[in-house]
Amino acid sequence: MKDKAQVLLASILTLLIGGMLTVFLHSADSITSPNYSRENAPLLRAGAGGDRILARQTDSIGFTYFDRQTKYSMADRVSYDPARELLQVVWMAATDPQAETTRGSYFAVFDVNDGVEKLNDWDALRLGNDGWPSLALFSDGTVGIAAHTPAKFSRNVAPRTDAFVTNNAGGSSSFFPRVAIAADDMIHLIYTFITGSALNQLAYIRSDDGGLSWSDEILLTGPDAVNGSAPRTADFDTYAISARGEDVVVVYLDANFALHQRRSRNNGQSWEADRVLLEAEYERNFEIEPLDGNQVRYRTDTSFTPGRDLDVILDNTGVAHVVFPLLRTFLTGVGTKNGSTIDRSGRDTVNVDRGAFMRFGLGMLRDSDSRLRSMGLPNGSGWDGDGVFVSGNEFGSNYTRFPQWGIDEDNTLYCVYSSVKNGDHGPATIEGSLIERALYGHVYLTHSLGDGDWSLPLDLTPEGEDCLYGSLANTVGDRLFVAYQSGSKPGIQFGTEDALEINAVRLISLSVDELNQQATDVHEVPSAATDMIASARIIPNPINTVGILNFTTTAPGLIAINLFDARGRHVAELYRRDTSIGLHRVQIDSGMLGLAAGSYYCRISGPADQTSVMLIVP
């Protein structure tokens, strides 16, 4: 450990020189947008499967001009202390659309003994404008907040207060920290790096004195990882951590979409070897197009694949539960044809089957077995395909995003996630282009019912608002608490902060007794998908008035092909018939269809799978 006396002295000087670390800015009452003039949102409505109305309270607790809370995985932003009936929330926010200096981590604390009473204004921690915070609860009711850059750790000096002491934790290039605190108040911190040879490597440190000093850094990924080399992470925000007792579990996704776990059973002192929990398995290759000699362009079958939005939680038996968007992916590339087989080159491109977004939502695994289960569907029960998803970062995610776990003392799991709602769409301008049927985001809640069943997801949020980034307090008692962000325009906006609208940060308090006990249609996901549509391609593309859509099927069955424009509007049905195994051709005549110049999508749908091909009309 570093010299505790020096670090403590530096912290005291920082507090004295800087005054209180909290800077009082605008409160939630400053929200002037007509969308947020009310204090309470409509009552909680059931998801797509029902119309039951549940009693609960929704309050606006703050605001921000900064839309983006994460790139992929959502950090814990809410803590609930049942013994003291305290709720503490931290959020990435900016209070001025023109002033980047107001961007940082904002904090609020609530007394939830009788309703929800806010004890402070919407206050900026202003830790050098550090953001992307992660929050965890100490046993005395205080909270620890990790933020960057570089990775710092802050702890409030007492429960019910917004005065914090801050110390550096990681090195100068440490980035996107995630924190977990075990029952003995041991702090476990992971982060990645933004520069140098350690780029996208995941590091771990721990503290046993409340964050005043830290252990030596241990690499969990990369060539110098502890207990053997391990792949680097796929990107920033593609990892999560949980701690309970002396168990510490870290999960991460690598660049090849494989889900890994690192585990310590002695408070982070030593680590088990890297373990792959789930990775895509491609078994068959299909020829798409012959090239020179024996070279061919190929496509593989599709395989279930984990997405980049991860969370993990340990139950009281030590089992780790992992949740993520469930994707179906396939590879394309150029290979060598040898008789009836195709040898892949090894320089494949990973592609996401977007048609599967309608039918699959979240996947979950337990590290105690290898069963992959489906849960948390888009729209609660499946998306109908109407509208355009505009919330960015689609690759590596599907139409269910940002899952977060909570757990109670009986090991009942609770999960909030963001998705879409059938029929809830409106106009939005994204990167200068008008999208007329852009889908609004919604925040859903589902919980385990035993025997592998999950409740029908509940829609926690109103229509006509873009609601995303649900964060659920890990500890669930008689009530559970969810914070989320909402705006009046569909889509996550970033890169042009000066054009951002005001967003509300909202808090939901909900009685667990009122949760829906109706089971949804969840199922164990088979180890391999059954693919009927093996390949699809339009030649030529861009078309010359007339083009040919070639597609190959591996099983007989009904195939429907529909054409949509770039805004998601249905243009025409091109084909619907029972097909045999083999190659099929459909003519597309842009003149007869009256197609204007632009981009279109041909959606090819079979009984069990679906794929889309872009069509360009010059």
pLDDT single digits (tens) 247-289: 999 999 998 889 999 999 999 999 999 999 998 888 778 887 8
Identify the helix (H) or strand (E) that includes residue 592.
helix 590-593
Q: Rounded to whole angstroms, what are the CA distances from 105 to 15, 36, 109, 235, 550?
A: 17, 21, 14, 22, 52
In sequence order, which residues have a C-beta less than 8 Å from that of residue 496 and are 6 or more positions away? none
Q: Mind listing the pLDDT tens digit for each residue in 460-484?
A: 999 999 999 999 999 998 888 999 9
Question: Can you tell me the distance from the alpha carbon of 535 to that of 582, in angstroms, rounded to the nearest whole number?
Answer: 10
CA 32/CA 122 separation, integer angstroms? 15
What is residue 325's predicted lDDT score, i.e. its pLDDT? 92
Residues 6 or more apart in contact with residue 273 via CB below 8 angstroms = 227, 228
Structure tokens at 202: 């995941």
Q: Determine the pLDDT at residue 124.
A: 58
Element housing 89 (H / E): strand 86-93
Note the pLDDT tens digit of each residue in 338-384. 887 888 877 788 888 776 777 788 999 998 877 888 888 888 888 88
pLDDT at position 518 is 62
Which helix or strand (DSSP H or E) is residue 601 part of?
A: strand 598-605
Q: Is the peptide bond before 149 cis (omega within 30 degrees of 0)?
A: yes
Render pLDDT for 427-459 as a digit per residue (tens, 0 to 9): 887 767 788 888 999 999 999 987 677 888 889
pLDDT < 70 regions, the chain: 1-58, 99, 115, 118, 121-129, 355, 391-396, 431, 451, 492-500, 516-532, 534, 566-568, 608-609
| Cβ atoms < 10 Å from Cβ of 454 | 23
Cα distance between residue 106 and residue 108, in whole Å: 7
DSSP 11: H
CB distance 449 to 455 below 8 Å: yes
pLDDT at residue number 495: 44
User: Residue 16: in which H helix or E strand, if any?
Assistant: helix 4-18
Residue 609's pLDDT is: 67
pLDDT value, residue 387: 86
